Amino acid sequence: MLAALLLSPIQQATAEGIVRLAATTPSPAAMAEYRRKLEEYTAARRKYEAEADAYWSSVAAKRRLRQAKRRNNQELVLADYVLTQPPIYSGPPQPIDPSAAIEEAPPRKYVPVVADFLRAAAKEFNFVPQHPRSELEYKRAYVKVASAAGLTKQQIVRIYAFESGGDGKYDVQAGLEQPKPGAQAVSTALGYNQLLATNSVELMAEKGDRFIKTLNAKAAGLPEDAKKALQRKIAVLKSMIGFCRSVPDTWSEHDRLANTSKGLAVHALNLDLDVGPLLQTQKLLDSVVFARAQGYGGELSAAELEMMNLTGDGNGLDIIRMLPAWRERVPTSNFFQPGGYERNPIAGRSGVVAKLIAATNAVMDQESKLQGAKDLAALFAN
């Protein structure tokens, strides 16, 4: 049976491991019908892409205009936003060439998981994170750090609920929130605030000295054995910081590092009882600090802080500063790149800013009822 399969003329294994099934010879009528459908599809697709390009170019241009106005302390008007929704392709589907070989889809790209982060940390830095003895121990450490940084109870609990599904553990990873058969990680997003490996590299590069100072202060008050253990951890952190600072301070360069074995090792710091809460907190704190630096003096609600997380600090603050009446008219597409908009189901379904914020609050309301969020909230009463 295996020999027959190997010798069969209808299958061929490529170097990439993709199996192609040789196509049968189609009739002239079938090919003529295919060419007719292809012309219709090509014309429709070309028209759509021209409309989409013009739309997203307008979104980008208006965004630059708003940024320039804010720099010059000029008042924004509603016309500074694109007020129509992105075009949607509604033409005929792309036809299948009856003469072409049939390809099996290539395997899905592997996304590293917690086991990979831990393996990389041990290999690259001889580092094993200090795991909490219980989930509550990590939560307690996180609340202590986040509260000391000035984050509020509602920010801490509701964003945890939104990001980790309401009951996520300290090592929860995107795509693996629930123990479902066949579940796969969809990204390296990890922990209570779902930091990407790139976030971890960037935070260590930019805030590493602050983390070292905090840990040194903690070490000073510990018994001798515990102090020595923490000092050894600090030495590892210094090596990781040096690695993270080996490239220019840009997202693209940090992303490149994050996809190396050493970058995955840095990401394992989120699993450490001492360092993880610092990283998870800093991601939110950076957004709060950005808003203050831009002159926003109010306290950010959890949903508003999440807007900065979803769309980036600049775009999120643009949303927050918007007049309530405008939120009912301005499409969410104003605050995304095309690819990010298409990949974000909440943004696409919401339509306008008011609905995006309402949908975010609704998720926070629902997920805050779960046990993990309740446990986190209870720590503020003690």
Pick the closest to residue 91 from 56, 44, 127 (CA basis).
44
Cβ atoms 307, 319 nearer than 8 A? yes
Those residues whose C-beta lies under 8 Å from the C-beta of residue 168, and which sit 6 or more positions away, are 160, 177, 192, 372
What count of other Cβ atoms lies within 10 Å of the Cβ of residue 8? 11
Helix (H, G, I), strand (E, B) or coil at 43: helix
Pick the closest to residue 153 from 31, 305, 2, 21 (CA basis).
305
Q: Read out DSSP for 129-161?
A: ----SSHHHHHHHHHHHHHHTT--HHHHHHHHH
Instruction: Indicate the helix (H) or strand (E) that contains 21.
Output: strand 19-21
pTM for the full predicted model: 0.85
Q: In the chain, what are the domain boundaries? A: 28-103, 114-381
Which pLDDT score, from 0 to 100, does residue 382 have? 56
Does domain 114-381 fall under CATH 1.20.1260.10? My reply is no
C-alpha distance from residue 87 to each of 54, 56, 336, 354 (Å): 10, 10, 15, 20
Angle at 21 between CA 18 and CA 26, to 5 degrees: 140
Q: Read out DSSP for 220-244?
A: HTS-HHHHHHHHHHHHHHHHHHHHH
Instruction: Indicate the helix (H) or strand (E) that contains 102.
Output: strand 102-103
Cβ atoms 19, 5 nearer than 8 A? no
Which pLDDT score, from 0 to 100, does residue 8 have? 36
CA dist 131 and 269 (Å) reads: 10
Which pLDDT score, from 0 to 100, does residue 166 have? 93
CA dist 212 and 218 (Å) reads: 10
pLDDT tens per residue across span 277-297: 999 999 999 999 999 999 888
Question: Virtual CA dihedral for 118, 121, 126, 128, nearest 10 degrees?
Answer: -40
C-alpha distance from residue 42 to each of 38, 97, 137, 165 (Å): 6, 14, 58, 42
Helix (H, G, I), strand (E, B) or coil at 371: helix
State both tokens at 48.
């759509």
Cα–chain center distance at 36: 42
Cβ atoms 279, 270 nearer than 8 A? yes
Which pLDDT score, from 0 to 100, does residue 347 have? 74
Is 381 buried (19+), middle (13-18) or exposed (0-12) by CB count in 10 A?
A: exposed
CA dist 162 and 160 (Å) reads: 6
β-pair partners for 13 = 19
Which pLDDT score, from 0 to 100, does residue 220 have? 94
Which pLDDT score, from 0 to 100, does residue 331 have? 94
Cβ atoms 103, 18 nearer than 8 A? yes
| Mean pLDDT, contiguous 10-residue spans, the chain (382 residues) | 35 41 74 93 96 96 94 93 94 91 80 97 97 97 96 96 94 87 90 96 97 96 94 97 97 97 98 98 95 90 93 91 94 88 77 93 96 95 63
Pick the closest to residue 329 from 351, 361, 362 (CA basis).
351
